[in-house]
Homo-oligomer: A and B are copies of this chain.
Amino acid sequence: MGTRRRGEELERAILHAAAEELRESGYSGMTMDRVAARAGTNKNAIYRRWPHRAALGIAAYRHLSDATMPNPDTGTLRSDALEMLRRANETWSSPHGAILRGLLAAAADDPELLTLMRERSGADTMDRAWLAMLERAAARGEALAAAAHHRVATTPMMLLRAEYAMRGIPSVPDEVLVEIVDEVFLPLVRGRG
């Protein structure tokens, strides 16, 4: 039979198949047998590359989106912050986010996998974006300079994340985002009164 795929090419095929399975069935529904079948290969080829299902899942996840949106810069801190939260909320509540949550749950026991995930999910990039946003706001006089602190900058996203963990999930209502911004973030960075 004609051509047999190898190396790079086969690897991409496997990742592609795994990503499709993730999209259709989520992480818990992604089985090794089905990935292999879909990629038109067999489990051997997979296990030669990734030590277990979780590793493949994480590797495949990056194939689902490398979309990096530009940072919002609307002119006011409040709407920048809301925009960031809304984007995150959309991402997390999309089917896409469901997969990410499945992966997170699977990796929760294993610190090694967790760091792998953090790298691939662009959390650090996001944090830097918030910090930059705060610095711009401070320059405009909308926030205290002291507030341009890592812990402060990451607070809104942390709260959103925790909100997801608390609820069953699908999506956090917009009111919650507004509340995070108006009751916590803004009072925190500009000082009350």
Contact = CB atoms under 8 A, between A and B. Distances in A.
Interface string A149-193: 101100100110111011111000000000110011001100111
Interface residues of A, number: 41
B114 A105 contact: no
Contact of A28 (B102, B109, B123, B146): B109
A163 B158 contact: yes
Given A152-B183, A183-B151, A191-B193, A108 B114 contact: no
Nearest to A162: B158
Q: In terms of DSSP, what is the predominant structure of the interface of chain A?
A: helix
Contacts of A147: 187, 192
Given A151-B180, A155-B159, A105 B101 contact: no
A110 interface: yes
A111 B184 contact: no
Given A115-B168, A149-B183, A158-B162, A144 B105 contact: no
Interface of A: 28, 101-102, 104-106, 108-112, 114-115, 118, 123, 144, 146-147, 149, 151-152, 155, 158-159, 161-163, 165-169, 179-180, 183-184, 187-188, 191-193
Given A101-B109, A105-B106, A110-B168, 17 more contacts: A28-B109, A105-B108, A111-B167, A111-B169, A114-B167, A123-B166, A144-B192, A147-B187, A151-B180, A152-B184, A155-B159, A158-B163, A159-B159, A161-B162, A162-B162, A191-B191, A191-B192
